[in-house]
Every structure is written in structure tokens, then in C-alpha cells.
Chain A
Amino acid sequence: MTDVKSSVTISVNGRSLEAAPGELLIEAAERAGHYVPRFCYHPRMEPVGMCRMCLVEVEGPRGATLQPACYLKVQDGMTVVTDSEKVKKAQDGVLEFLLANHPLDCPVCDKGGECPLQDQTLAHGSGETRFIEEKRHFVKPIEIGELVLLDRERCIQCARCTRFSAEVSGDTEIAFSGRGDQIEVAPSPTEPFDSTFSGNTVQICPVGALTAKPYRFSARPWDLEQVESTCTTCAVGCRVAVQSSGNRLTRVLGVDSEPVNHGWLCDKGRFTLDSIDGNEESLDPLSASTRLREPLVRVNGELIATTWGSALNRAAAILQDAAKSPNGVGAIGGAALTNEGAFAWERFVRGVLGSNHLDAQYDDGLDGALLQSLPKATIDEAANARVVVTLTGDLREELPVLFLRLRENFIKRQNALVEFAFASSGLHSLATVSMPVRPGEAHLVAEALTRSDGSLLKGSNVTETELNETRRLLGESGEGVVFIVGRPNVAEDAGVIESAVRVLAEKFTSATFLPALRRSNVMGALDMGFGPKLRPGRGYVNDDGRTTLEQLEALRSGEQKAVLLLGCLLGNVLDVEGASAALEAASVVVVSGHGGKTLEYADVVLPAAVQHERQGTVTNIEGRVTAVTAKIVAPGSAWSDVAIASELAEECGQSLGLASEVQCAKVIEETVGYPALSVLNDASDEGSVAGRTKERVERRPLDPMAFPGIRSTNTAGLAEFAGAVVEESVSASSSPVSATLSVVSAGRGVEVPAFDAYSLVLNVSRRLYDHGVAVQGSPALSNLVAKSTAYVNHFDLDRLGLATGDVVEVSSPTVTLNLPVALSDATPRGTINVAFASVDENGDDVASRILVDPSSAITQVRLETK
């Protein structure tokens, strides 16, 4: 960076224009209004100049020659012509060549109507084909994975999908095979194309070669309408275009948001639409694929449909009655709500019911107040940080698009990654240092890092070399370091990671933190006060609010009489039996969009709108508040949460003063200064990061291959600008203060029992495809749920005389399960890793999580061969 010239001047079609040094000609020209046609070029991948569609004339030592605009970097004084006869002939030639072997099946092609090849042919093609030979033939579409079909005849060899696979997702599950005009995209001979990110290849394919099974033949582009929104399947907050045909959701496409997702999505976010539309035949309230359409009340042990009036009446009676006794009522759930929904319910629980017991997490996250007290990093900052330290689960499984953004940091910018390696992780191969940390040990490792000796770590797998290398990378104050903190192991007391986080935050005062909580809008719910000691607008009050576990215990003991469940509980908690007993003992009001086993215990069920059916704002892991937009109308008589909370308050004889989402957003912004209405008013905006100053980021032009000209689009939301940040950090209302490390109690030590030499310590980790509503309700995804397996290090396998595939009895203090074992050296010695939710070879649910002993900070299990 010695030659710091901030701009160069080039001439395009006789007009001179300024461009950034090193900028690609295709982009500079486009900004100046000279659109150069293209196929292979993708703004988020390295240019390869293969399709040759973007040839333009560039003046050089040998006169004007044809050069690919997508590959050439601008240089001062460059003279370019994009519209000469010669350019036109070259481009028409390429188009004609592309069509030579291209089948004439546009009428039955998914891409028909939104195909850049079709569009350009209509615009420039001669209309008359000169190609009378037999076209190239391949077997028509082959299923290359659970979600994707490949029609090789339609492929134009732009290598967008294969490059995505190698360069962006890094899993190279598809690659070019063959040569010349027999070149084809091909999967592995043995493994299916099941990348977590496979849907992106479909989106960026310029033609109909790659199609998504869930979308195939479901709509024609001209019937589609779209809005821009935010995906809330996990907490990364990817920007999306949500499309529907009539009142049916048809497709979700990634929008290129500079600060967040760069246009990418994970397959779970992209393909969960079926769960939202619901299985229309299913009326079984206990099934997660059922969308709740009407309020239900329990009469003579049966849930029966009723009117909103009587359901609200019953619910109000239950909750108010319980609220009469001190600590008699509380609420659990809420991470799936919008900020407005969470704010309304918080007002209802604290204001109307007078209870401080509300918790948006199911004891599988981290203390909300502790997270609020940390200096925060944005996703972009983490993706550019000098050193990233992960103390979290496998990000590829938990927050997939964050994984993509981070991966780029280590591959392209060669920055360092330090892993607290709890189990296998998608980033493992990129780690500079990978410290094999056992459950119950992370805080000790953190402490060891703050000292110059590793004496705290007797018996640990972590070596002094690893500690030293990490210390060197972190430096004295952690300048340029981003810690990504989440919950790697739900079988481990949250206190372990919380203590580690506190130790690191206190020592490395220049470092910043990016929370890696995974559940949709959990950060927004916490910001809206949906947790013990939390208040709207990131306020902190040292109250005695109960966590989920504590509420369940109080319900079992009878101290708490009733519970308001926002979403289903049983699918989410570790201790299913304990939770069932608690619900059995209590009065239960459920507000949910989907059915589920929890409803077996419900006294009243109030049907709610879910994502893509409601308006509002949500907050992602970095604290970015963005708008969500309703694309379709919720089924039956389901209402939005703001409406349900308000009406329930009215039924209780009080008013929340929140007549609509917009009003709610207004109240949030006015009372606690949290960006809500300002974001909602400008839905085209990339949102605001709470607590940061505003800066506008220009949004790139949308990739025309991924967003071809869809007719009749409601483009509200497809905006020109990205990213705006509010002026000030949120102001706390009178009594609450801002959470700081010194006032927050979480992370001040944890009791971990001694490791038993004959046992393995249990790690229960999350997988992307779990048994949540999204997967259960989406037939396309349900086959992707992990097979239940216990992963063990090869030392332990050898020690126990086991081999991959052996079925063993895994005994914990709570239960014994039969599980096949498999080798995984990513699992630290002395530990055993299972998935939170998985299926056996018959596809039956195996809740490996029931191995967890909730009474202990760690669970130790023994293995025996059958």
C-alpha cells in the first residue's frame, strides 16, 4: 500500500470517469451507467473471466483488443469502449455459442421468465438459430443432493456454483469434471451434495441448471411478488428477499447486505418455508408441522377450538389468578418474537402480571446481562479482525453465514484463528491454534492464558505450546482481537463459559466480543428486557427474576402456579422430563404459531403469526436492528404477538398502550432510545447497530444472475443503501442502569466436579438440522437430520478397544443409551460428543440430550460394549 492514489481516471465510451485503483473494470463501468453483460462474474467471488460475455475493447500497445471487463483492473488512463460494433459482435458471438448446445426447454424451466440467458437472447439474439446440429445430451436432471437437482444440458459452464463450493463455502462438494464441450458439473462419486450452503449455488446459477427441489415447478417468476426482510431462522440476521405467489410463500433469496450476509444464506434459512405454510391437512396440535389457526382451550381434558374472546378470557383468568400469589407466575420463551412482540410481552409480564420471571433462553445460552456488559464487535469487525478467538459451538452448524464471513477472514486475509476446540468445527482446518478443551475446563484455560504459566491445567489436553502461541497472538491487551462467545456444550453449566468470558474480558480490555447465541431474535428479546435482571433498551436491574430452569423447578414445587409459554418448550429444553413434570403441575398458556408436544399440557393456546407474516424489527448477534416485513397473511385467525399481548392486557383490565407494531416501535424508540421505528420507517435500510453511530454504506447493485428482472415485483425494500447506525447508545429509563462487568454477577466462578478417569465427559452440541419446528415442518430438510452417533478421539477408542461403527452402551447418571461410536479426533481426549437432536438409522428421534445430568456442571458417562 505504498502507492496511495485514491482514484484513477479512465475513459469509457469517450466519457472520463473516476474509479478506485484496483477496481474491476466491469464495476467501474457499471457505476457510470455502462452495464457490461456477463455470466460468470460474481461480485463476491474472484473473477475468472471464463464465459467471455463481458468482452470490451481496451486500448493497449497492440491497438484496441478485446478484454474481459470482469477480470481487468482499471488503470489510470485506460481507454475502454463497451458499445462498438466489434464489441457487439464478440458478445453476440458468445451468446450464440452459449445457446448452441442449450436446450430449448424454457417453457418447462424453473428459470424461464427470470433467466439472464433468455433475457439477453431476447434483447440481442438474432432470433434465428444457425445451429442445426444435434445438441449435446446428458441425462436430464439428476439429483445431486437432498435439496438440489442438476440439469447438465442447461449448464453454461460459468463455474459460479463450483467456485462457490471451493472458494466461499470451502467444501468443494461439486466440481467441474471432463473437458471441452463435455465439461460438466459433477458431485462426488460417493457423497451427495449436502453442503449447508447448497441453495446458494441454485440462487447464483444464471440458468436453470441447478434447481432447488422445494421450489421446482412451484411458481412462475411473473406470478411472484417479493419484499425485503430479515431471515430469523438463526440470529445472524441475513437480509433476504421473500417471495410469494398469492398467499403462499415460494422462495427466499439472499440479498447482498454488505455488513451481514454478502448475499449468501444457509439452506435451513432458505428452505424452511414449508414449515411456515404448514401442513394444511394436519390438525394435530401436538405435531410441529401443524400451523395453529384458531385459539384452543382445554375442556374436559381435550383441546377444542374456540373464539378469541373466550380464549383470552380463560388465559387472563389463569394468569391473573396465579399472579395473586407472590412469584406465582412467569413467562418462558420469546426468542422467536420480533422486538415489538418481545417488548409487548415484557410489558405484559412485568407491568400487568407484576412478575420478574421471564426468560427468552432455555438455559442453553449465556447470561443476558453478562453479554450486555461486554464491549461488542460487529460481524464485519470479526470478519476482518487480526485474531478471532472462538469459544463456541461449531459455527458452521449454529450460525452458518457467520461461518462463511469468518472463513473469508482466514483464507483471504490470512488472519489468525484461535479455537477453543470443544468438538469438530467447520473452521478447525483454518485454525492457527486449536486448543482441545474438555467440558468444564474453558474457564481454567482462559485463566491460564492470562498468566504466563500453564500450571492451572494439570491433566488437560491443552499444551503449553498452544497456550504460548495463543498468548502471543492475543498480545497484552487483546488489541484487534474478537472473541466469539456462545454455548458450545449444553451439557455443561453455562457458568463455565461465562467465567471464561469474564476472565478474558477483564484481562483483554481492548478486545471486543461477538455473542454467538443462535436462536432467531434472542438478542432482540434480551435487549427488550426478556430475561432476569434485564430491562428494555439493554437496561439492567438487580432483580430476582428466575431463569427457565428455576421457573420449572418453582412450577414443580408449586411455588409458581402458572406459566406463559411463548413458543413450545419441550422441544427446546434439555431436561424434558423435568419440564413435563413442571407443566403437568401448573396452569399453562401457550402462545405459538406451531403445534408441538408442549400443547399436551396447555390449558389455553393462542395462535400467533410467525416469520414472513408479521412486521417489525429484529436484532442480530451484533446488535444490528433490521426490519422484518410481512409477505403473507397468517393462517386462520392467528394474530401478531403485539395484538395478542395487548388484547390479553385489556382482558386483564389494563392497557399496554400498544395498538400496533408501528406504535410499539415508536414507543420503544421514544422510551428507551432503541432503534425500532426509525428502522421500520426505512425498511429499505440495512438497519442500525444499537449503540453505534450511524454510517451509511452504499449497497452494491444486486447480482443480476441472482435477481434477474422479476416482473411485478414489489421492490419495496430492495434498497440502495446498506447500514445505518443510530446516534447514541440506548438510554436507560430512570431506574435501570447499563450492565457492566462489575455489576453483573454471572461468570463469577463455577463448581466443576473432578474428572473421573474411567469416564468420558459429555459434550452435547447443536447441529443445524435439529428437531426444531423449522426442520420438522419442512419435508425437504427433515432427511438431513444427523444420524445419532457418539464421537470419540482415537486415543479413547483404542483405550476402550472400540472401532467406528461399534454400538456401545452410554451410561450417564440419568439414563443409558445405545449409540454407535465413530472416530473424531476433533473431539478432545477424554470427551464424547453427541448431537442435541439426531435420529437413528430408522429415522426415529434419538434425544441424546437426555444423557445430560442437569444437577451437575458437567456430565460424565461410561461406555460399555454390548
Chain B
Amino acid sequence: MAATAAQRGLDEVENPLTAGLERLPVAPTTLVIFGATGDLAKRKLLPALYNLAHDGALPERFHLVGVSRKTKEHEEYREECEAAIRRFSRRKPDEAVLEGLLSNVKYVPGTFDDESVYGELSSVLDGFEQEAGEPLNRAFYLSTAPSFFPVIVDCLGTSDLNHHKGGEVRLIIEKPFGTTLEEARELNRRVLAKFDESQVFRIDHYLGKETVQNMMAFRFANGMFEPLWNRNFIDSVQITASEDLGIGSRADYYDSAGALRDLIQNHMLQLLCHVAMEPPVSFTSEEVRNEKVKVLQAIPEPAAQDIADMAVRAQYVAGQAGGDDVIGYLEEEGVPEDSNTETYAALRLEVDNWRWAGVPFYLRTGKRLARKVTEIAVTLKPVPHLAFSQEGSLGVQPNQLVLTLQPNEGVSLRLGAKIPGTRMIIRPVNMEFLYGTAFLSQSPEAYERLITDAMRGDATLFTRNDEVEAQWRICDPIVSAWTAEPGPLPTYVAGSQGPKEAEGLLREGDHWRAI
């Protein structure tokens, strides 16, 4: 798996033609999607591939192989791909581009534990390479139910598809990466028995979002914030990822996962890392991920006796959303009537290091809350002395910096300002920056960026093995405690701000921001 000396020598010959190009080259690649007929492939992966093709951003030679249980011919699968692209692409397909993309699609049917599937897959891959007259890189995208991940990885290894003479082999693994720390460790063990870590790309699609990447630019390209970015000036940090929708048709997945596993264990801890990490020495994948792992390691593992004080869960009950009456979680189709799965989770975490000691990090997420919003609110400490009377003021409040990831990506800074008039009366005002108003370009879909990066071998926006385990180390004790505790869970009314129990997590004087 390691590069040969000769290969390293060739790598060192630079390509001066790439200077100044916005789109960097991607080596010729065959992408194999396991779970090719699933929802993720149809809604996200295939449209992302079409849009990359439309923009001329796919490798100069690109082939797609779908692998799934259902028996069908290549042509039938191409028709399914076409239908998915037409339905879910962010732009109307160009017929000639679509036809060109589909002409390079093949399908391999079979169960994932059937060795003959991998033999046939190998033949298809070899066929593409004979046609091309050169070895092509291979990327295996695991978009199946998580229980198949180890099976597929093992079979790829035993079929010798985990390495390829003359080309790179990459393994892209969808979330969830385990449902407990033990499962994550076991999956890492199985994966790393067959693949080198440098070949593995664990997807957290939040990391592909432009606004998450912008957080690093915001922190590390602006000198004005970094001097304040520590326990001396920051009072608390609140990270919110709320949805106004219910679980829709995802009862099967959601009821086995819950809010903590669905969002906090991966996406929200990644956001926390972006807020709390030290500036990396460089923006290489290893340096960035090293800094994130240090943050996760600085968060103490929750002790069993502390969990009730630092974690809250709840379920929504019937209420109103968007002016309509909506049902509660237990009435949703496919949800067991005695389900104890949380649809809301909130945590109070500490990052025990020199920069952040004593600053609470509040994380909350939930379904059927008042509004859809993802934001990070950094509240600064109040000024030490107020020289003027507050009489008549709406309150001199601490400065608050809010980074909004959705729906209106931007940065807002709350300041105190004098109300025009003869008296010194203060009220908070917002200084707003909205990404949409300041750039002409449209952000690509997260999967477009992530698929391209994986094919290029750039792992910066993917989760490393130790990072996944460090995330689970924080969440696993909470999952265990909640699993052990019988219900019923606290509740909140659909369309509300969440359960009142969440107030109990807050330090005296702190408040949840209105969703």
C-alpha cells in the first residue's frame, strides 16, 4: 500500500500547468457505489456526479459502477440513474452531458457478502482499464446500511481489491461510523486490517459545507478575533442545529439512532472542534485533523454520575408547525409506540485546556422545533464597568458573535449602541454580514466537494480514525446511560423551543438563544 520509491520520484516532478487553475486535476477514476439503488445514491451521490460532469470537474476518464442486491441489467440501472439525476439535480441536465455520463455506467448485482460479486466487479474494473489502456484509480463508496460496512471491507480485502498496481484505491465510508465506541473501534479495526488509513475517507457531509470551511477562514484569516478567542474574553459558546420538520419517512433509521447519534456525535462535535481548535501549522489534512483531535481529547469523558446534569433528552409531542397541526413522535409512521428514542438532545461540555477551561459549550439539536437553524453563538464576557446609567436602556448586553450556517449563512455581531436622543440610552444592535450578499459564486453541494476531494486523495474534510473514536468517547457514556434508563422521556411540544428541562443545563445567568 505504501508508495514505491519510483512512484515517489515521479510524484516529485511538478506539474506547472496547474498553477492558477481554480479546479485542480483529479486522476482518472472508477467510482464504485455499494448501495447504488439506495436513497442517498439517488438523492445526493448521482446528482453530485452529474453536476461535477456538467462543470467539467470529473476526472478526464470517469466510470461509475453501481453495486446492489437487486438484479438488473446495466441499461436498467442507467435509466434509474437518469431518473434520479433529472429529479434531484440542482440544475436542469444538459442532455449531451447526461448521456455521456451514463454511457460510462455499469451495474453489478449481488449480495455484499457474496465473493462472486467482487469477482464480477473486478472484471468490470479491469474492462474499463483495458479500454483506457492504463490503470485507473478506484474509489469504493460504501453507501449501504452500516451493518454491511465490515462485510464489504472484508470482501474487498480478500478479493485483492484493496490495492491496485499503478493506481490508488480509496474507500469512502458514509456515516454512521458505528453506533457506540465499541462498534466504532471494531469497524476501524476491520477497515484498517485491509486498508491503510491514508486510503480511508469517512464522510461527515457537514465538513463539505462551504460555511463550515468558512469558519476556519473566519478564525484564522482575521486578526481581530483571535486575541479574544479564549477563556479570558469568551463567556460561553452555544451550538444549535434545529429542524422544524419531523422525521418524515426515516423512522427506521431515526428510531434506532436518535438525536445524539444523528447529529451531536458527528456534525456538532465537528462544529465544536472548528470553534475550539488551535490554528494548525498548515492546512494539510493531517495538521487540521491533529488539532481537531486535540480538542476532542480535551473534553472529559462524561462520568455516569454527571450525565443527568450535563445531558438532556426529550421527545416531541403533538403541536403546531408552520400553522398546521402536527403529530407527536410516537404517532409518526413506523415509530414503536413505546419508543424511548430522543428527538431532542442537549449537552453541556467543557474543553479542559489552557484556552477554554471554564467556558461552557452548549450543544442542542432537535426535530420539530420552532425553526430550522444551524448556528454557533459565541457570547463574550460583559464589560467590567459601565460608566453610564442603564436607566431606560433595553439592557447593555454582552457582545455576541453568531456564525449562522443555515439558512442564511453569515456572521452577526451584537453590539451595544446609543439610541438617538439626548440621553445615553443603550440598546443592542446587530452588525450583519451575509455570505450571499458578498459573493457571486454559488456554493457547490457538500457531496460534490467531498467526492472530488476523496478522488483527489485530500482527506482534510474527512474524519480520521482517532477522531471518530474521540467523538464516541464523549457520546458513548451518554448513550449507555440513556439506554439503561427507562422512559418515558421528557417531552416538548412540536413547534416549540424545546423541553424546559434543557434550562437545567445552563450555568446561572446563561440563556438559550431563541430558535
* Chain A bound to chain B: no
- Give A residues with C-beta under 8 Å from B: none
